[in-house]
Amino acid sequence: MSPLWILLCIGCYFGFLLAIAWRTSRGATSGSYYLGNKTSPWYAVAFGYIGDSLSGVTFISVPGQVAISKFSYLQVVLGNLVGYAIIAGVLLPLYYRLNLTSIYSYLGSRFGSRAQKTGSFFFLISRMTGAAARLYLAASVLQSFIFDAWHIPFAVTVSVSILLMLAYTVQGGIKTLVWTDTFQSTFLLLGLGLSMVAIAHRLDLNLWRLISLVRESEMSQIFFWDWRDKNYFWKQFLSGIFLAIAMNGLDQNMMQKNLSCRTLGEAQSNLYAFSIVMVLVNVVFLSLGVLLHHFARIKGIVLPTRTDALFPTLALQHLGVFASAAFVIGLTAATFSSADSVLTTLTTSFCFDFLGQERSGASEVEKTRRRHLVHAGFAILLLFVILAFRALDSDAVINAILRLAGYTYGPLLGLFSLGLITRRPVEDRWVPWVCCGSPILCLVLEVKAPMWFGGYRFGFELLLVNALITGGILWLSHPRGKEGALDSKRP
């Protein structure tokens, strides 16, 4: 498929997004931007959630990792089911009862202003670096296969992408994103399905033979029982539970759309439906990985050294025009569905948790102007972070940055757990220091664990350890002699 046709597909795709944004943002207000006027249909939120959760990194990396990790990722996904049930049964009722816009307002009412700002800050860091990594990966693929041939600089590619995101999110916010994410989830699943069809056609496989090929492959092993292995079932399953809670239930980006549903019952229906669909979608992604490796082996194609390059290399160079178009559609949808909402939710968190938007006496016009400036500011910051990743040009350094960002969900889990499980107050002034120190301790623990614990290697369960350290230290920080119960006005 020629670069011109790929660019045409992307252009048409963004044309539809801009049309949806124009339709949904007419007469938009702050209520539309932050919570969609609380009128979002739960089924639209649930379907759009698919694209929001499955980033371009997932679209590329999960199939490529199958030869190394097999189907072990499903152990995490099964744990996610339990985590989503906890979010629906515990966190969403709390958020709806308190009528929150920023979920970190709960930390402010429970512990104090420093806790609220700390929770918001950790979210801002995590989501900014995560969104930058997703866009960097997708833009790098498009740069290599399209724009390098036209001598278009990487900075121009990324700048145009972010400007397009800014154009269709800055006015309508969540009200627009609910429907653009529905559109993008449709094309993500379409790209995934068409990729499977293209490979099956090239290998002359019908549906039943395709299923048999995947089931009989040594790569389709799901459960692992060696306790020292990073893929050990109970580590993966329990990690999946707490990953879902931390990275969805305690994440403004994932919760804001849920809070835009009409009622708590509809928001819960959204999560239950989404969690089941996600299991099926991840099975298809992993199966695609088996088919890609099988296709490469049958055709004698030398696998790229980087697993992330497997899917784009085969789709764009070996599987024909149909597969190329499917890959481009799916990658574009996955990347921008997970990245575009970040600008809106970062803006929401900053305006409410740092600027005190809900307590501001400013006029609606002034609030809107401030919101637009913050939204544009985060778009510019996102651009610079992506360009910084490009300048580093080192997988080791970039992965280290992303790992450190991932550690920030542990303190959030610790703070919310301490607030929900206990009635104990904490020293608010200590919260920022403890939340910054805990990830550093966990990093040391991860590096030293094989030597200290007889070869044991931490996986995703380090998130739980991080949370326990945060919660434990803050519990101990409350000095003796002070009242142990919270003020009755606190939730």
- Domain range list for the chain: 3-396
Calculate the alpha carbon distances from 179 to 25, 51, 194, 408, 483 in Å. Answer: 11, 11, 23, 30, 48
* Residue 195 near residue 62, CB atoms below 8 Å: no
pLDDT of residue 359 exceeding 70: no
Q: Is the pLDDT of residue 487 over 50?
A: no
Most confident residue range from 316-325, 414-423, 439-448, 470-479? 414-423
Dihedral sign of CA atoms 229, 234, 237, 239 in order = negative
* Amino acid at site 473: I
What is the pTM for the complete model shown? 0.83
**Gap between the Cα atoms of 343 and 290, Å rounded:** 35
pLDDT tens-digit profile of 242-290? 888 988 899 898 899 889 888 999 999 989 998 898 898 889 888 888 8
- d(CA 313, CA 334) in angstroms, rounded, equals 18
Q: What is the pLDDT of residue 89?
A: 93
More confident residue, 27 or 260: 260
Please state the length of the chain.
Answer: 491
CB contact at 8 A, 491 and 98? yes
Torsion of CA 354, 343, 94, 179, to 10 degrees: 150
Containing H/E element for 448? Answer: helix 431-452
For 112-168, write each residue's pLDDT tens digit.
999 999 999 999 998 888 888 878 877 887 787 777 778 888 899 889 888 888 888
At residue 411 the predicted structure's pLDDT band, cuts being 50, 70 and 90, is very high
CB atoms within 10 A of CB 13: 18
Nearest residue to 288 via CA among 33, 272, 296, 223: 296
> If one looks up domain 3-396 in CATH, what number appears?
1.20.1730.10
**SS3 per residue for 29-57:** CHHHHHHHHHCECHHHHHHHHHHHHCCHH
Residue 107 has pLDDT above 80, yes or no: yes
The reported pLDDT for the residue numbered 373 is: 92
pLDDT of residue 81: 93
For the chain, give percent helix, strand, coil, nearest 5: 80, 0, 20
- Residues in CB range of 77: below 8 A, 6 or more apart: 240, 278, 279, 282
Instruction: Give residue-wise pLDDT tens across range 51-101.
Output: 777 766 677 777 878 888 888 889 989 999 999 999 999 999 999 999 999
Query: What pLDDT score was predicted for residue 238?
Result: 87
Q: What is the pLDDT of residue 468?
A: 92
Q: How far apart are the first and last CA of the chain?
A: 57
Amino acid found at 390? R
Q: In the structure encoding, which two tokens stand for residue 369, read together? A: 């102007």
